[in-house]
A and B are shown apart, each in its own frame.
Chain A
Amino acid sequence: MTQQIVFAVAALSALVAGVSMVLARNAVHAALFLVGTQIALAVLFLLQGAFFIAALQVIIYAGAIMVLFIFVIMLLGVDREEVLSEPLPMQRVIAVGLGIILVGEALYLGMTKAFQKVAAAPVDAALPGEGNVEAVARALFTRWAFPFELTSVLLTVAIVAVMLLAKKRLD
């Protein structure tokens, strides 16, 4: 019963904050609504027993990435109200129509149990007596060790690319 109440509150606040983010006129407000969505999602992760991912969600997403967003908003000085009028006619109507089609498709797939046909036994499951963090760490450093090392290459490439993009022209 408690779980259902926590789920309802977290899911509702995630959806309301998501809609508010799209409708926000001010970029800072949008960023704060996105933080709200991400914290609500962390609660949903906790409810499903993914403790490590919930902690990562709060630390990396709601913490580091959103601080970067706010930093850039303040740096560029776009933290003012913007005009929400749309120069392209019909764009909003078509966008919302496409969104309704998309959610219809996703719900149809979810409701018709299309996924249960491919549900094989999981390769890595938590061993008895093993916590969530230990299970994720064991999978990450054994079966997924090579992709894990590749992410370090990705981060290095991203850092070099950002330095090249952000530096001022020397000439």
Chain B
Amino acid sequence: MNDGLYLIVSALLFTIGAVGVLVRRNVLIMFMCIELMLNAVNLTFVTFDHMMGGIDGQVSVFFVLVVAAAEVVVGLAIIVSIFRRRASADADQVSLLRW
């Protein structure tokens, strides 16, 4: 099985996530696109592990998962507090960095 194909899938998924962050205005969907980019990086980690016959990449994926969980919780709390103030999930509405 060619490992390069996994890397291609990973590169495409990362690009889809990056374009999604740039194109969408709904903050929730932008956040989901960031999750997609993290997932693509996880696939790269596991693929390199498979290529080199090691285990460290999988440990790195474990840490990425933990950080992603913490990041999602904090990010969603920020989105909820923005929504309480503005009643909108549109990223263009929060262009001013003030209350």
Q: Which one of B13, B70, B77 contacts A154 once the chains associate, using CB atoms below 8 Å?
A: B70
Instruction: Determine whether the beta carbon of A53 is less than 8 Å from that of B46.
Output: yes
Taking CB atoms, residues of chain A closer than 8 Å to B15 are 99, 102-103, 106
Instruction: Determine whether the beta carbon of B56 is less than 8 Å from that of A69.
Output: no
Report if A122-B66 is in contact (Cβ < 8 Å); known contacts: A7-B1, A103-B15.
Answer: no
Number of interface residues of B (CB under 8 A): 67
Which single residue of chain A is at the shortest CB-CB distance from B14?
Answer: A106
Taking CB atoms, residues of chain B closer than 8 Å to A24 are 29
**B94 CB–A CB distance under 8 Å:** no
Taking CB atoms, residues of chain B closer than 8 Å to A22 are 16, 19-20, 23-24, 29, 33
Report the bound CA distance from A15 to B5 in whole Å.
Answer: 13
Taking CB atoms, residues of chain B closer than 8 Å to A18 are 12-13, 16-17, 36
Instruction: Determine whether the beta carbon of B32 is less than 8 Å from that of A69.
Output: yes
Which single residue of chain B is at the shortest CB-CB distance from A34?
Answer: B32
Report if A136-B62 is in contact (Cβ < 8 Å); known contacts: A65-B69, A91-B23, A165-B74.
Answer: yes
Instruction: Determine whether the beta carbon of B33 is less than 8 Å from that of A78.
Output: no
Instruction: Determine whether the beta carbon of A50 is less than 8 Å from that of B58.
Output: yes
Chain B nearest CB, measured from A142 CB (Å): 10
Report the bound CA distance from A155 to B67 in whole Å.
Answer: 8
Which single residue of chain A is at the shortest CB-CB distance from B48?
Answer: A115
Number of interface residues of A (CB under 8 A): 81
B54-99 residues at the A interface, CB under 8 angstroms: 54-56, 58-59, 61-63, 65-74, 76-81, 83, 89, 92
Taking CB atoms, residues of chain B closer than 8 Å to A15 are 9, 12-13, 16
Instruction: Determine whether the beta carbon of A69 is less than 8 Å from that of B55.
Output: no
Instruction: Determine whether the beta carbon of A21 is less than 8 Å from that of B32.
Output: yes
Which single residue of chain A is at the shortest CB-CB distance from B27?
Answer: A78
Report if A49-B17 is in contact (Cβ < 8 Å); known contacts: A151-B63, A161-B74.
Answer: no
Instruction: Determine whether the beta carbon of A158 is less than 8 Å from that of B74.
Output: yes
Taking CB atoms, residues of chain B closer than 8 Å to A11 are 5, 9
Taking CB atoms, residues of chain B closer than 8 Å to A64 are 69
**Residues of A in contact with B (beta carbons under 8 Å apart):** 3-4, 7, 11, 14-15, 18-19, 21-22, 24, 27, 30-31, 34, 37-38, 41, 44-45, 47-50, 52-53, 56-57, 60-61, 64-65, 68-69, 72-73, 75-76, 78, 82, 86-88, 91-92, 94-96, 98-99, 102-103, 106-107, 110-111, 115, 119, 121-126, 132, 135-136, 139-140, 144, 147, 151, 154-155, 157-159, 161-162, 165-166
